[in-house]
Structure 1
Amino acid sequence: MNHVMKICLGAALSLVTLVPVAQAEDFKLSNNQRIACSRGLAPGKLNTATCKSYAYIFNVKTSEYFRCQVTLALTRDNKEVINVQSDGSCAKKPRIFDTDSNYSFDATETEPPNTNSFFGTGGYAVWASDNTARKVRGCIIITSGLGSDISKCLDMKFE
């Protein structure tokens, strides 16, 4: 009886270790990472450069995705680097499609602030397609500046 318990426990452990591997294969990194840097002058002839980069991790089965951001800020004077700070995290976003399937995904960020941008940075577009059917959805997400994102997704028509 003890031998049977060991076999069952071994089988259960091997099954538990296989489940995360299968789930990890469902996630893909988007092909469209961007980096944007800005720099500024501070009192005392200090220079500060701040760089941000975004990437998207997409679940090809559920169409759920994560928006990830990493930031590096570097402060220096004319002779040396005085301070380096970095930060980063991923935020879970809702599903693009309601049902599970086999999806492809890509995303892009808005341009840095300039005279043509109304809202500045904080917006992005995502595209997802169903690999098993002719189904494509495009979404634009813009930060309203009031604490919430405005999101609109449309299904593409094939004419």
Structure 2
Amino acid sequence: MSRVIRVCGTAALLLTALVPAARADDYQLSHNQRISCSRGLAPGKLNTATCKSYTYLFNTKTSEYFRCQVSLALTRDNKEVINVQTDGGCTKKPRIFEVDGKYDFDATETEPPNTNSFFGPGGYSIWAADMAAQKIRGCITISSGLGSDISKCLDMTFQ
């Protein structure tokens, strides 16, 4: 299991190392990455551990963002590692604000399955702020349970 954590940690470091190469002044990496792992027994006394981690990459000029995920599955018996598989990538999401500006953001995600996940694998929220004005927009995306996501954003009012 420590090998799985080491490999996932290395994958996360590689992801953060790639961010500066993508015009560091326009992109920001989410600071609340999470990792979740599960273990299972397979026929023949094989043990499998699967770990997933995600992060968000935000364009601070356009307010477009990417949801990135990396996963690793390790299968072993009592003596050796038999198989290691990795997968991952980033999915582009729409702009939060319609015009270019200077934005800041934060993101968080439910961890499935849990009580917040009524219809499927959970959801996530994105908060974005205009750094030149008193303007904040909160967006929540959840699975509809019918194969599509529902996403809504709301501008905050200040009292």
TM-score (norm 1): 0.80
Percent identity of equivalent pairs: 78
Contact 1:68 1:90 in 2 (8 A): yes
| Deviation beyond 6 Å, 4+ runs, structure 1 | none
- Indicate conservation of the 8 Å contact 1:34/1:54, yes or no: yes
Match runs of 1:128-139 below 5 Å: 128-139=128-139
RMSD: 1.8
What does residue range 1-159 of structure 1 map to in structure 2 within 5 Å? Answer: 23-114=23-114, 117-159=117-159
Q: Secondary structure at the match of 1:53?
A: strand
1:112 CA displacement: 2.8
Contact 1:35-1:54 within 8 A present in 2 as well: yes
1: distance between equivalents of 2:106 and 2:116?
24
- State the one-letter code of the partner of 2:38: S
CA pair 41-99 structure 1, distance change in 2 beyond 3 A: same
Normalising to structure 2: TM-score of the pair? Answer: 0.80
| AA partner of residue 64 (structure 2) | E
| 1:72 CA displacement | 0.4
CA–CA separation in structure 1 for the residues paired with 2:118 and 2:107: 20
Partner letter of residue 158 of structure 1?
A: F
Deviation digits for residues 9-64 of structure 1, max 9, x if unmatched? Answer: xxxxxxxxxxxx89552111111111111111111111111111111111101100
